[in-house]
Chain A
């Protein structure tokens, strides 16, 4: 009996520690010329315990973007909580362009009303001011929402702080057997949620454009098969289980189709499948490897990897009503290895895995100018994915024999690292803007 209860406690502990496992983020390179911004700790107006620090979450968000440099708390010369209390002259002397102040009011039903103001220090005026209702469990989300408002007000571009990442983790279970998990977390690594666990490899997660479902490849049945799973209900559907490869699923931006790789007709070819009818259309026809399809934002073309020219390179094919519309055109000519394309949401950039002097790195091709640049400095960098606003790329790399994630701004100026406490994390994919909860 005692044995049993201790086993129960052990299990309970391992379950609860799983629930709290998070990716920890470390900023490895800030950006020169980042805008100084002062974020004052929000005033707490309530009887209960003070909730999470919104100021810390917002400051970390803005710093990660590489465009802002939040002041350390000890450098704040005063701690006002609303615009009318601000003495702009003293802040101007610090050369701080922007100031964020706010309050959290505890409401009778236990929820919160969060007020905040973004102030232009040099003009001495308010740029934005909002009051947002939030549940305790939603305060982190509210903080990311505030970060998005600040970012958009100052830069004019959409922020991507209130988004998620999906990724694969590989850890060892209590019998030292490998355990593969598909997980999602907030873009800052918090609130990890396990979507699916398997003793066999999992790979290639892809978000549906409404952020409610993930397509992925599972080897549970001893060979690769494609599944689609709802991230809220966990409802799962097997989409492709043909002979040979069932790989590289990518959801079309219009949500109607999946592009995928099948080798049922001999060698790996790209197909598109209607998500509702499961009807297949073959897109490529070559004796070579064709794989890793990625959609253009208008759903009217695919970029993919092919070794038809002797080494893996990226090609583009137009789609006409989801059927091949032309002969595929080669896109990359730098070096002899360019694979795993991913396209920014505005269609301007293609990021890929590029080999340069034996090192595998993330490179970016600007589609219109054909300008090609290598963004990372690792040896085993792979799986790039753009933030939905196109400013950052998250990717997988290896550090001290472990798989970790890294993020780099598209201009290469800001960098950060995301790692698990134990095990490997790989194949990050940034969610679209709206993940409906």
Chain B
């Protein structure tokens, strides 16, 4: 019960915050003093701090899935070599999607995990899955239902960049958030 109440308090804060931020949706990296100061003193500070990207996904309409300016348009998360650790700066991207999905339980996604070409192919398939599941775990903790998320790993089989150097490898170690039917 206490847990549930806390959830409501958090939700209220989120809704209030979203209400404050009525201007055009901010892109990552853009500063917004209003959000900054207000986010600082609630427990979402981690997700929303200094990047100014914090936008409550539960306030977004389904139509924003096709809006290139929506925070939901950021759908690729990148990883370090051998790692399935979510980068701090990607946590708010995940949060926006998680809140959107939690408030639209009929919408589902595929989390597609990928690796760069180095090392062994089967290990890379497992690593791609581990990355996608790390994203899934954060989303389900934020209220997305298990059945809304499907995890598929392609390992190194589907690179987006074809080179054999760091710049290509950095782009290929990724999880893609794919909305089914959008």
Chain A residues with Cβ below 8 Å from B130 are: 267-268, 289
Q: A245-B153, A292-B122, A337-B82 are in contact. Are A268 and B158 (CB under 8 A)?
A: no
Indicate if the CB atoms of A203 and B122 lie closer than 8 Å: yes
Which stretch in A217-225, A229-237, A273-281, A429-437 binds the other chain? A217-225
Indicate if the CB atoms of A244 and B157 lie closer than 8 Å: no
Q: A129-153, CB under 8 A of B: which get 1 and which 0? A: 0000000000000000000000000
Q: A203-B157, A267-B133, A311-B82 are in contact. Are A261 and B126 (CB under 8 A)?
A: yes
What is the CA–CA distance of A267 and B132 in the complex, to the nearest angstrom? Answer: 11
Indicate if the CB atoms of B122 and A353 lie closer than 8 Å: no
Choose from B117, B123, B152 the contact partner of A223 (Cβ within 8 Å).
B152
Indicate if the CB atoms of B126 and A219 lie closer than 8 Å: no
Chain B residues with Cβ below 8 Å from A312 are: 82, 119, 123
B120 within 8 Å of A (CB atoms): yes
CB proximity of A337 to chain B, nearest CB, Å:
6
Choose from A222, A289, A398 the contact partner of B152 (Cβ within 8 Å).
A222
Indicate if the CB atoms of B127 and A289 lie closer than 8 Å: yes
A contact patch SS: strand
A340 within 8 Å of B (CB atoms): yes
Nearest residue (CB) in B for A292 is B122
What is the CA–CA distance of A380 and B121 in the complex, to the nearest angstrom? Answer: 11
Nearest residue (CB) in B for A202 is B157
Choose from A263, A379, A383 the contact partner of B121 (Cβ within 8 Å).
A383
Indicate if the CB atoms of B121 and A427 lie closer than 8 Å: yes
Q: A201-B158, A311-B82, A360-B119 are in contact. Are A289 and B126 (CB under 8 A)?
A: yes
Nearest residue (CB) in B for A352 is B120
Q: B109-152, CB under 8 A of A: which get 1 and which 0? A: 00000000111111101110110010000000000000000011
Chain A residues with Cβ below 8 Å from B133 are: 267
A401 within 8 Å of B (CB atoms): yes
B179 within 8 Å of A (CB atoms): no
**Interface hits, A232-271 → B, CB 8 Å:** 244-245, 247-248, 261, 263, 267-268
Indicate if the CB atoms of B119 and A204 lie closer than 8 Å: no
What is the CA–CA distance of A294 and B70 in the complex, to the nearest angstrom? Answer: 48
What is the CA–CA distance of A289 and B151 in the complex, to the nearest angstrom? Answer: 16
Chain A residues with Cβ below 8 Å from B117 are: 380
B contact patch SS: mixed
Nearest residue (CB) in A for B120 is A340
Chain A residues with Cβ below 8 Å from B123 are: 289, 291-292, 305, 312, 339-340
What is the CA–CA distance of A382 and B116 in the complex, to the nearest angstrom? Answer: 13
CB proximity of B96 to chain A, nearest CB, Å:
26
- Residues of B in contact (CB 8 Å), total 21
CB proximity of B174 to chain A, nearest CB, Å:
17
Chain B residues with Cβ below 8 Å from A103 are: none
What is the CA–CA distance of A118 and B95 in the complex, to the nearest angstrom? Answer: 75
CB proximity of A374 to chain B, nearest CB, Å:
15
Chain B residues with Cβ below 8 Å from A353 are: 119-120
What is the CA–CA distance of A289 and B123 in the complex, to the nearest angstrom? Answer: 8
Indicate if the CB atoms of B122 and A261 lie closer than 8 Å: yes
CB proximity of A22 to chain B, nearest CB, Å:
24
What is the CA–CA distance of A263 and B82 in the complex, to the nearest angstrom? Answer: 19
A213 within 8 Å of B (CB atoms): no
Chain A residues with Cβ below 8 Å from B154 are: 201, 219
Indicate if the CB atoms of B119 and A337 lie closer than 8 Å: yes
Choose from A224, A245, A263, A305 the contact partner of B120 (Cβ within 8 Å).
A305
Choose from A244, A340, A398 the contact partner of B122 (Cβ within 8 Å).
A340
CB proximity of A378 to chain B, nearest CB, Å:
11
What is the CA–CA distance of A292 and B82 in the complex, to the nearest angstrom? Answer: 16
CB proximity of B53 to chain A, nearest CB, Å:
31
What is the CA–CA distance of A244 and B119 in the complex, to the nearest angstrom? Answer: 21
Cβ contacts A to B, 21 pairs, < 8 Å: A203-B121, A219-B154, A222-B152, A244-B129, A245-B126, A245-B153, A247-B125, A247-B126, A248-B125, A267-B129, A268-B126, A268-B129, A289-B123, A289-B126, A291-B123, A311-B82, A312-B123, A339-B119, A380-B117, A382-B120, A427-B121
| Chain B residues at the A interface, C-beta cutoff of 8 Å | 82, 117-123, 125-127, 129-130, 133, 151-154, 157-158, 164
Given A311-B82, A340-B122, 4 more A-B residue pairs with CB atoms under 8 Å apart are A203-B122, A292-B120, A380-B118, A382-B121
